[in-house]
Amino acid sequence: MDIKHIKNAEFPVQIKEINMKKLKLVNLAATDNIISPEQFEEINLDSPAVEIFTDFKIHKALMIDGETMAITALQLMLKTHVRMNIVVAENDDFIGIISTNELSEQNIVAKLSKGITREDVLVKDLMIPKSDFHAFDYNQLLRASVGDVVATLEDYQLRHCLVLDQESHHIRGVISSSDIARKLHINMNLNVKQSFGSVYDVVHQKASSM
């Protein structure tokens, strides 16, 4: 049968009637909170460490160019509620870590005392260079608990720590004290520079009440 015959052929066509109804939209005037996955997670110090690990195979790493002005970086991080960024060079090579703590007004002013302007202070001038940073081993992390991570960060006096996949020779992710606190449902003001001890004091107080 050619195309002409097919077009002219009579086929029984059954049209299913679809019943549609209008949905009522509601007013958002009294709503101002947006939920996040952490609100539904039950995590404590005995939970697997991977529960508080930001895996770069799943979540894109937050990166910033080392040549970015420090004041611009701080404004962007506060506006987007980001506590830490990985610092990269022009070719995207990892060169360090920058957080809102390093971008404090006090640290910027310290650079100004050396005779440079505020606009000349760059992220790379205030970052923690990768040579000074520590990292968890990814395979070891798979067998650890959140409590193990907290104890290690306390011991090294760290708010952030990278996770290194030594077999693949790449940075697999990052763990931060602010992420731990958030996943344990602890309210922390990311715009306020907190002392190292106060962060983990709150974590322990929360954990002991669970």
Spatial separation of the C-alpha atoms in residues 110 and 33, rounded to whole Å: 39
Q: Kindly tell me if the per-residue pLDDT of 31 is higher than 90.
A: no
* 2-18 pLDDT per residue, tens: 555 555 555 565 666 77
The structural domains of the chain, with segments of one domain joined by +, span 42-208
CA-wise closest residue to 145 among 6, 16, 49: 49
CATH class of 42-208: alpha beta
Given the DSSP bridges, would you call strands 94-99 and 128-129 parallel, antiparallel or unpaired?
antiparallel
Residue 208 is predicted with a pLDDT of 59
pLDDT band at 180 (very low <50, low <70, confident <90, very high): confident
Placement of tokens 């160019």 in the chain: 65
Spatial separation of the C-alpha atoms in residues 80 and 83, rounded to whole Å: 9
CA-wise closest residue to 189 among 197, 181, 108: 181
Continuous segment of H or E residues that includes residue 32: none
pLDDT band at 70 (very low <50, low <70, confident <90, very high): very high
Q: Which residues pair with 98 in a beta bridge?
A: 85
Placement of tokens 């002013």 in the chain: 109
pLDDT band at 198 (very low <50, low <70, confident <90, very high): low
Spatial separation of the C-alpha atoms in residues 52 and 43, rounded to whole Å: 9
Break the chain down into helix, strand, coil percent, rounded to 5.
Answer: 35, 20, 45
Could you give phi then psi for residue 87, rounded to 5 degrees?
-95, 130
The predicted model scores a pTM of: 0.68
Q: Residue 160: is it exposed, middle or buried by C-beta count within 10 angstroms (0-12/13-18/19+)?
A: buried
Placement of tokens 């996955």 in the chain: 37
